[in-house]
Amino acid sequence: MNTISNLNFSGKRAIIRVDFNVPLNSDFNITDDTRIRATIPTINKILKDGGSVILMSHLGRPKDGPTDKYSLKHIVNHLSNLLKTEVKFADDCIGESAKTMSANLKAGEVLLLENLRFYKEEEKGDVDFAKELASLANVYVNDAFGTAHRAHASTAVIAQFFPHAKYFGFVMAAEVESATKVMNHAAKPFVAIMGGSKVSDKILIIENLLERADTIIIGGGMAYTFFKAMGYEIGNSICELDKLDVAIDVLKKAEAKGVTIMLPTDNIVADEFNNDANILEIKGDHIGDGWMGLDIGTETQNDYTEEILKAKTVLWNGPMGVFEMESFEGGTKAIALACAAATKKGAFTLIGGGDSVAAINKYKMADKVSYVSTGGGALLEFMEGKVLPGIAAIES
């Protein structure tokens, strides 16, 4: 990969596409700064070399141009603290002020541009808009793995204006390295843990994993679509009735390919979607009328843990239950602990995709696994085997 390690940025002005699409609370305080912290080494490398940095990102999905709620000004202070240097802010990502502020940057200085998505041209991949952004700098760095699946002006189109000066940042490099390790060079046994509520969200990645994994562990709401497809009673559990044939197809393909699919053998069921509902742990596959499965049971937790501990490669995407509610967090917590234990035994463990990352953080296991991805949709598309526009634009 052509990473920033290959260049000395002394005297250069680099524009870096970052993914600062972070969650903010109602007071505009950042509730999870993982994505910002991840980019600090990239920024610091360029500053340390004697270069200057222009940062560009989107925040949220603004529909009607500039909107205070989606302004990147809300993250300036936090970013300044993390970088231990005052970050300048341009309240428009293109135009005169962005141009002047960029041109006046001195070595070691950082400028953050306002939200790219305040212009419709960003998501449309408009070439003129990309050219405007490109005119601000003489090197382009893409470190926005979380947005690499978007063919937007700042993530892909802009690269053509830097034919000999386009690089991957350290976040991109680490993400691609760990995802490639899992998908293309997995040490065996390779155990993939798939959770979350819908089979439809995960079907392409499951199909790709059927070619690679030794075991696919299934949990979360999507397990009930499998149960229903197998003819079991699932009560009021979540189910995609139009995906029953897809579930059957996965089971058949797995059998043909010798991939073990593990489904829950016991479940935590409740009579309401509520932490304080009546709750039972039931063995077997029959969930009666009026009950819904909201987590895997203890026996399943133990079986899944045992399988994960045998692995040399582990991929975890998606929770095992409604882990946001204490009554239904046991399964997800057990998986987080099992991933940490497997890592300790020498396995390579990759955790990715919004909810499982939230879970690994909740149980304070993030630094006990091999890699926690900053990508949600981007990681899933990478795992599906798709070419990500943000990666292709630098490589081409």
Q: Is 377 a catalytic residue?
A: yes
CB of 99 to ligand 3PG, least distance (A): 26
Contact between 21 and ligand 3PG (CB under 6 A)? Answer: yes
Residue 354 makes contact with Mg ion by CB under 5 A: no
Q: Using CB under 6 A, which residues numbered 133 to 162 contact ligand 3PG?
A: 146-147, 150
Question: Least distance to Mg ion from the beta carbon of 135, Å?
Answer: 29
- Asked if 364 is an active-site residue, the reply is no
Is the Cα dihedral 221, 366, 29, 40 positive or negative?
A: negative
Q: By CB under 6 A, is residue 132 in contact with ligand 3PG?
A: no
Site string for ligand 3PG, 263-302 (x = CB under 6 A): ----------------------------------------
* Residue 377 binding Mg ion, by CB under 5 A: yes
The binder of 147, among Mg ion, ligand 3PG, none, by C-beta within 5 to 8 A per type, is: ligand 3PG
354 is catalytic: yes
The CA distance from 340 to 351, in Å, is: 11
Q: Which stretch binds Mg ion (CB under 5 A): 114-122, 241-249, 342-350, 373-381?
A: 373-381
Q: How far is the CB of 100 from Mg ion (least distance, A)?
A: 33
The β-bridge relationship of strands 166-168 and 190-194 is unpaired
Cβ-proximal residues to 314 (8 Å cutoff; 6+ apart), any chain? 190, 191, 192, 193, 308, 339, 342, 343, 347, 348, 349, 350
CA distance linking residue 388 with residue 149, whole number of Å: 5
Nearer to Mg ion, 148 or 311 (CB): 148
Catalytic residue among 198, 253, 362, 368: 198
63 touches ligand 3PG (CB under 6 A): no
**What is the closest distance, in whole angstroms, from the C-beta atom of residue 352 to ligand 3PG in the complex?**
12
Q: How far is the CB of 268 from ligand 3PG (least distance, A)?
A: 30
Determine if the peptide bond prior to 189 is cis (ω within 30°). Answer: yes
> What are the C-alpha distances in Å from 176 to residues 39, 125, 189, 390?
15, 23, 21, 12
Q: Which is nearer to Mg ion, 147 or 301 (CB)?
A: 147
Least distance from ligand 3PG to the Cβ atom of residue 27, Å: 21
Residue with tokens 């020498």: 346
Q: Pick one of 7, 15, 19, 174: the residue that binds ligand 3PG (CB under 6 A).
A: 19
Contacting positions for Mg ion (CB under 5 A):
377
Residues with catalytic function: 35, 198, 354, 377
Residues that bind ligand 3PG (CB under 6 A): 19, 21, 61, 146-147, 150, 376-377
